[in-house]
Structure 1
């Protein structure tokens, strides 16, 4: 399974000590160079910065078609470089799944026919696979520790889906 990730799923799971869920679910996660740079080139360091530099199952890869990244950013002024590269890389690799939370990026990726899930979808899959006992506990940790934003409607919908 080819999985490409944007920054948010990695940094947020790292912030609550659950980054290994990605490895358990997908074995390998590919990130574009822009996502790698977003994580390792900032001060103070973001959660997961050391992981993307040291874990063999997180692999940074360069987008071959740089023009596609430019086109994605031109067409959508609110798409940052990491999101544009993640979408472009997912298209190039014919990825099975793109991990992305940002709404505008998700809508754009869907327009290109990509299969997308966000961090909350990852948590639902982890619970379904028996890797975590409670989505609610994880969501609460994300909100508290990582300042992850989730609307009350989405929070309730995810808990309903998780039978919690």
Structure 2
């Protein structure tokens, strides 16, 4: 059975800002997003890499589905509409994997039994799969572009892939 990947806005933005959005396609093939996530990344102001997200949607490997938020009942506070919609979409698949970095969203997803991976782990996986030569420069570029990834997370990923900061 193929695992379905559903990405939240933050990881899409982080990867696209550093021209690494294609890593998702290389690792997972098709990637699901919701209408709420699409609006968050395309309609909420311009940022570097935004055109890459639009192009991925147009190319069809970033696949957008509409999700009705009416049945959403959070277990934890702080989950935004994008994260909520990602989890509602995930409920329609047998073995979804969520790419999500927000703390509240990750806690909610885990409480609902979903597998969750952060964008730093995606970069580490890309290194292990041979899609990139080194993870450290990409993680550092994400931080430089304004995406928060803690030192402990970066150090853990780099240790797993045999690199240092």
TM-score, structure 1 normalization:
0.89
Give the RMSD, CA atoms, in angstroms: 1.7
Structure 2 counterpart SS, 1:133: coil
Relative to its length, the structure with more helix (as a share) is 1
Structure 1 counterpart of 2:96:
96
CA distance in 2, matches of 1:95, 1:41: 30
Q: Structure 2: where are the runs of 5+ without partners? A: none
Post-superposition CA distance 1:71-123 (Å, at most 9, x none):
12xx4331110011011111122343111011110111011110110101101
Q: C-alpha displacement at 1:46, in angstroms?
A: 6.0
Q: C-alpha displacement at 1:50, in angstroms?
A: 2.3
Which moved further from structure 2: 25-34 or 75-84?
75-84
Structure 2 counterpart SS, 1:156: helix
Q: C-alpha displacement at 1:40, in angstroms?
A: 1.6
Structure 2 counterpart of 1:135:
135
Q: C-alpha displacement at 1:63, in angstroms?
A: 2.1
Q: Structure 1: where are the runs of 5+ without partners? A: none
Q: 1:45 to 1:54 in 2, by over 3 A?
A: farther
Which moved further from structure 2: 136-145 or 52-61?
52-61
Structure 2 counterpart of 1:51:
55
> Does residue 16 in structure 1 map to residue 15 in structure 2?
no
Number of matched pairs: 159
